[in-house]
Amino acid sequence: MLAERSPRSFALEFKAPDAGERAALWARLWPEALPQAGLDVEALAAVPLTGGHIRNTIVRAAFLAAEDGTAVGMRHVRRALHSELTELGRPAPKEWRR
Residue-wise pLDDT for 8-25, tens only, equals 777 878 888 999 999 999
**Across the strands, what pairs with 73?**
37
Domains defined for the chain, CATH in brackets? 19-96 (1.10.8.60)
pLDDT of residue 91: 84
**CA-to-CA dists, residue 53 to 45, 49, 57, 78, 98, angstroms:** 12, 6, 6, 13, 21
By mean pLDDT, which of 4-18, 38-52, 56-70 is the weakest?
Answer: 4-18
Please tell me the pTM assigned to this model: 0.81
Instruction: Say whether 36 sits in a helix, a strand or coil.
Output: strand
Whether 3 has a pLDDT exceeding 70, the answer reads: no
**CA-to-CA dists, residue 1 to 4, 31, 49, angstroms:** 9, 52, 48
Round to whole Å and give the CA distance between 59 and 57: 5
Q: Is 73:39 a contact under the CB 8 Å cutoff?
A: yes
Mean pLDDT calculated for residue range 40-59:
95
Mean pLDDT calculated for residue range 81-86:
93
pLDDT of residue 96: 64
